[in-house]
Structure 1
């Protein structure tokens, strides 16, 4: 090889992760150009800037300067409504109801489509005109207003137009991804109409929504719920939509259901009016998505725009790529780190897995194993502090436990999980005699070490949080530092790059905006009907006085709720339904919520519906079901550790330091034995009888008791002597004589 060719090869190796930060365009995502592209990009930037500015108090300074202090857009209801309505509008503009194509020609509108669009569009525009007149003239739908006031010019047109245009979006043929859809633009307008109406009547709805709502309140709420569910379907699939539909139906069929599910029933106006308040859609889930989640998505977008994500992956390749099974170990570290930041298991599998999965296959991993490792690592990112895919912030909001305490409690379980996955891939590589990637295919560690300052944003985030800064201030400082450190790299973040980061942050956040709003519907139904309290009572009754049995039920419910649902929604719903019952049984709130959170996260790799595993299988071209089973096996520690920290809260950094240190180190050894049992390799190949024995010893050691530790160590020593030939059937028989 010539010197020039060798230099080119090394340059390519030094950036083996090139493209991992590129934006992924989904099958139903539109990509605009020209004037439309500029307008949509501007709207995305404004959406993100509004949130970041409002969270950091910039809104107050601007409104004071303009003399608009009386219009407080940061008031919780207004702020969350702007968040939801803006997210819905951008979501419908950017994402189609069906897959799109890249061809230059489009099928013409059918007669049915034209008719639905004409009728529906006219009705939505009529509702828009009416709500504008309401606010401009001050003639709102006040409490006690006649039942028919504006119903023919607002309520009926809004719901009728929304349904007709939605039907048009469903029947339209597959269109070009560069073209703006008339149907989806009208749906975006409908979302804005709903937002304007509720913002304009927020002070009235606070008092009347639960008692005597107006018919217009109901129709606006129903239209908003329909739009939320449709965008959720487009961005997160049908599973969550079906679950929400079941809860909505429960609100009306409850009077005819037996036992714990029975409730007295509610008038439609009161039911739907209640759902679109801070008890439901505008409640805790949207509070979190409009603050912590969008802030850290923006932080992730800054890392992506500055190509820091590429550096993280390159660094992992330089450190571990040359070891046996190197690409799998890279996936463990890099995917865990990226998954911690972006908070979406399946999305992270697609981004980092497109690089790591082919390389794992190249060094000898089976396709399904490569996909499984990536899925397990990406899912585990959501239990990795300090960000935990926004899970820590959700838990802090729901429980009232300080964020810092949650992060500290998450440290040991996260270390155990990633250590377990690491041992799993290492044992697989050892058993099959795999090698790492050749050194000439890997980045040079000495070169990457000179840019280790790119870890500064993460260090600043952690440091600021532990110094007592608020989550929002710490996240903003980390975001700013990501831009500053980029100035010392070839990928400087200047005005254009910063605006690009704000743009992609809006697009990245839309799925979670829709999902959290949909989860808010479930939370609202639970709050109105009281089914959460009754379910907790039923849980107590079924489990009797057995906390262990109650935890088994909780595990099953959390996993079932999480099948097909993003983690944020799964945890929020499970926490509302299950956690109160566990706490009433005497389980500590921190332990109860961590227990539920772990299983909500791990539902992404739990058969039969394992979204992260399925995403990896698509890249690896492996069987989805076998991949999900193997990803479950690789992530097995996460299914055992929650029960262990229930029995010994030292794993959650609770109690005295001696116990915490003791539990940590014995649990590490237990994790090693667990990986050995699963992979069938300890000090050499072990058959099924010894694997079962080693597995039992592993669980005993993870539990952290002195007797169980001695048992685990004794079993490990026994297997060592057997594998070294020091204990054989002949020796045993001879000793018996």
Structure 2
């Protein structure tokens, strides 16, 4: 869901009230306006509003009523995001009182760039007519001088100019208008050629050079939009991979390869081997559909209800706001699919409240970051990760969602006990009854959970993901009619507009990840990485897994979860499969480490977002969130040593592994927080850590050893009289 701007503790005004507040969370569902987002007025507001509604409608109709040819659908999907993205997001800071608008001459030059861009678009129309008239291909000189070179020149110069052109926030700059036209020209040419027999020539010497020209312009457009909406991290990684395409022949060792020409590479990268491949396949179907679903939930204010419900359930427990953050942030993170964005939306409420009951600023931010990140691994939606995994592996979605149940329980149990033990150690209180909403009032609106329940039931009844998602979206509108926030026609249109705006970032990120996937598949670097893992596995499989973990985290640093997993799945997962690991285990292993890169120092997007709200040092918050989410770095190794964690094996094996691993997670939290039915010293912490590792490992003998260690220390702590105020259960 969308992010909201930070606000202070919502409960302070009610602290002295004799009655509970009706609602503690308000504005969780409000849309945030990013620093480089334009705020249109007048006819421009109407124009982009209508375009956004039509974009969402196009996907709903194409997915449910009138399907398009696959490549054509994905090209339109990316093109629409590019047009909306360049219309809504500026390439630099806006002009204000301190920064004057760019000079008239610079703006005039921007408008002059419209001439080559419009000329290239006109040529696309003429080419379409030529091909429709029976021509087998276009004259190469026409493609080069009348389409390709004007298009690439206009795109490149307009991108550079957009970095220097400052304008008012309510206006559209000339360079961005040029980029919108270039997006239409690039996509238009690809649609013409990919709907002709020439589509089969991609990647061969017979491919029209115009495809390469359109792909170069399209790639530049995707990279620049990604920079605007997701930052530089993914763009830099994509640039490194693109550089490798042409520098590879000059590199030594296993990184070297024969090389690809510019024409051959770019004639293939804008196909299903790259940009139109698995990442865009998922963003154009499952992700866009669930973003529309999230937008409908947001329009009906379900986010506010989720958070208030969490406060009513867990607010009075010791360290209550922290436990609320675990519940609410995990639930919302599962739906909205972005760790950092979810931190801003729910953390703006929970972080100040955590600080109020006694958590240090760094702990408050770290707890929110860890909980929001955990939403990406919570079934059934898993922040769209489950759908990408299903697309890449061919494993049924329902099987992936079921396999994710125990690992997600272990992660959230770890975060919960980390939070609870810290609260016990520091003697924190929960929130007072008059500070939280009444459960008896909120339970009357429990029907607001119906859309999510309908989604889960439909998926496990055998409905396709698209049908189930559409049904859940429709049910969100229907359920709102019996809630205080009824969705009429205006609210539905607003939700459709909001969905398109929310989708821009993830579509750009998936398309950019597609460039990286294309490089990996076309250069064979993935196979060379697999051979490296095979060599390490010959020494030790644990060493190979550790190396794979480091690469997955490194690739994911600074990147949104979806892109991080897509890239890691292309580079690392095939190598793990080659050393004998089952595909489901290999992809879950990679997925978990791609997710936790959001809380892994030194580049931890979720932790940095939380530190901005808590006021703590960003690096301290990152280190603390790493500690709180420690289980997520251990659980993936359990996939390999105890496949029962992923629901593989008999029910007795699965139950034993699940129970003992959960107990091991409790001992791990106790060791980290130095609390187990009372304060514990360094030696006992080490013993507890050994017991935790024994039970997490999952062998029968090691489980018994871990239980013996935990039981012995429990009895020792109780004999000291520490049990009365040190129970692990929440008070």
* TM-score grouping bracket, smaller chain normalisation: over 0.9
Number of aligned residue pairs: give it. Answer: 708
Determine the structure 1 residue equivalent to 2:7.
none
CA 1:726/1:337 → structure 2, altered by over 3 Å: closer, same or farther? closer
- In structure 2, distance between residues paired with 1:435 and 1:177: 46
1:375, 1:613 within 8 Å by CA — same for their partners in 2?
yes
| Partners of 2:335 and 2:580 in 1: CA distance | 33
**Aligned residue number for residue 134 of structure 1:** 127
CA 366–498 in structure 1, closer or farther in 2 if over 3 Å, else same: same
Is 1:192 paired with 2:200? no
Per-residue deviation, 1:287 = 0.4
The offset of 1:509, in angstroms, is 0.7
**Partner residue of 1:352?**
346
Alignment equivalent of 1:493, drawn from 487, 491, 502: 487
Selected match of 1:179 from 171, 175, 181: 171
* 1:314–1:443 Cα contact (<8 Å) kept: yes
Q: Distance in 2 between matches of 1:116 and 1:682?
A: 69
The answer to whether residue 280 in structure 2 is matched with residue 282 in structure 1 is no
Distance (Å, rounded) in 1 between the aligned partners of 2:224 and 2:609: 22
Deviation digits for residues 292-350 of structure 1, max 9, x if unmatched?
Answer: 00011111111000001111111000000111111000000000000000000001101
CA contact (8 A) 2:549 2:593 kept: yes
Which residue of 1 is the match for residue 155 of structure 2? 162
> Which residue does the alignment assign to 1:39?
47
Tell me the equivalent position of 2:64: 56
User: Within the alignment, does 1:151 sit opposite 2:159 as a pair?
Assistant: no
C-alpha distance 151-128 of structure 1, shift in aligned 2 (>3 A) = same
Question: Counterparts of 1:431 and 1:240 in 2: how far apart (Å)?
Answer: 41
Q: Could you tell which deviates more after superposition, 320-329 or 712-721?
A: 712-721
Q: Secondary structure at the match of 2:690?
A: helix
**TM-score, scaled to structure 1:** 0.93
Aligned to 2:113: 120
Q: How many Å separate the matches in 2 of 1:468 and 1:185?
A: 45
Alignment CA distance shift 1:446-1:391 (3 Å): same
- Stretch deviating more after TM superposition (116-125 or 36-45): 116-125
1:605 correspondence with 2:599: yes
Equivalent of residue 497 in structure 2, options 499, 503, 513 = 503
Query: Of 638, 646, 668, which residue of structure 2 is paired with 1:644?
Result: 638
Give the corresponding residue for 1:63.
Answer: none
Give the distance between the partners of 1:109 and 1:171, measured in 2 at CA.
8
1:258-298 C-alpha deviation (Å, 9 max, x unpaired): 22211111111111111111111011110000000001111
Q: How much has 1:529 moved relative to structure 2?
A: 1.0
Indicate if the aligned counterparts of 1:10 and 1:443 stay in contact, CA closer than 8 A.
Answer: no
Q: Which residue of 2 aligns with 1:320?
A: 314
- Match for residue 387 of structure 1? 381
Q: Is the 8 A contact 1:221 1:276 kept in 2?
A: yes
Q: What stretches of structure 2 of length at least 5 have no aligned partner?
A: 1-12, 722-731
State the secondary structure of the residue aligned to 2:257.
coil
Aligned equivalent of 1:451, options 430, 445, 448: 445
Q: How is 1:162-561 mapped onto 2 (pairs within 5 angstroms)? A: 162-173=155-166, 175-202=167-194, 203-211=196-204, 212-544=206-538, 546-561=540-555
Return closer, same or farther for 1:12/1:147 CA change in 2, 3 Å cut-off. Answer: farther
Q: 1:214 to 1:140 in 2, by over 3 A?
A: farther
Q: CA deviation at 1:115?
A: 5.3
CA distance in 2, matches of 1:706, 1:631: 32
Equivalent residue, structure 2, for 1:732: none
In the alignment, the residues of structure 2 paired with residue 545 and residue 140 of structure 1 have an alpha-carbon distance, to the nearest angstrom, of 63
CA–CA distance in structure 2, aligned partners of residues 87 and 11 of structure 1? 48
Q: Distance in 2 between matches of 1:53 and 1:349?
A: 33
Q: 1:142 to 1:639 in 2, by over 3 A?
A: farther
Q: Which moved more, 1:661-670 or 1:205-214?
A: 205-214
Q: 2:34 aligns with which of 9, 22, 26?
A: 26
Q: CA deviation at 1:169?
A: 0.6
2:92 and 2:164 in contact (8 A); partners too: no
Judging changes above 3 Å, is the alpha-carbon distance between structure 1 residues 669 and 514 closer, same or farther for their aligned structure 2 residues? same
| Cα displacement string for residues 661-710 of structure 1 (whole angstroms, at most 9, x for unaligned residues) | 11111111111111111111001111222112111211211222221122
Question: CA offsets per residue over residues 10-49 of structure 1, 9 Å max, x none?
Answer: 8982221110000011111112121110110110111011
Distance 1:112 1:311, change over 3 A: same
The answer on whether the counterparts of 2:321 and 2:430 sit within 8 Å (CA) in structure 1 is yes
Q: Give the Cα–Cα distance (whole angstroms) in 2 for the partners of residues 80 and 107 of structure 1.
A: 40
Q: CA RMSD in A?
A: 2.0
**1:68 corresponds to:** none
Change (3 A) 1:500 1:111: closer
Q: CA deviation at 1:632?
A: 0.5
Task: Identify the residue that residue 694 of structure 1 maps to in structure 2.
Answer: 688
Match of 1:593 in 2: 587
* 1:252 match: secondary structure: helix
Q: Which residue of 2 aligns with 1:733?
A: none
Cα distance in 2 between the residues matched to 1:9 and 1:490: 24
1:433 CA displacement? 0.7
Q: Deviations over 1:352-394 (max 9, x none)?
A: 1111111111111111111100000000001000000000000
Distance 1:546 1:150 in 2: 54
Report the TM-score when normalising by structure 2: 0.94
In structure 1, runs of 5+ residues without a counterpart are: 61-73, 728-737
- Give the Cα–Cα distance (whole angstroms) in 2 for the partners of residues 393 and 458 of structure 1: 16
CA distance in 2, matches of 1:226, 1:197: 16
- Please give the alpha-carbon distance, in whole angstroms, between the structure 2 residues aligned to 1:261 and 1:337: 42
Contact 1:143 1:208 in 2 (8 A): no
The answer as to 2:100 corresponding to 1:107 is yes
The residue number in structure 2 matching 1:664 is 658
Higher mean C-alpha deviation, range 696-705 or range 510-519: 696-705
Question: Hey, what does 2:4 align to over in structure 1?
Answer: none
**CA positional deviation for 1:78:** 0.7
Question: Could you tell which deviates more after superposition, 260-269 or 147-156?
Answer: 147-156
Deviation of 1:6 after TM superposition, in Å, equals 8.4
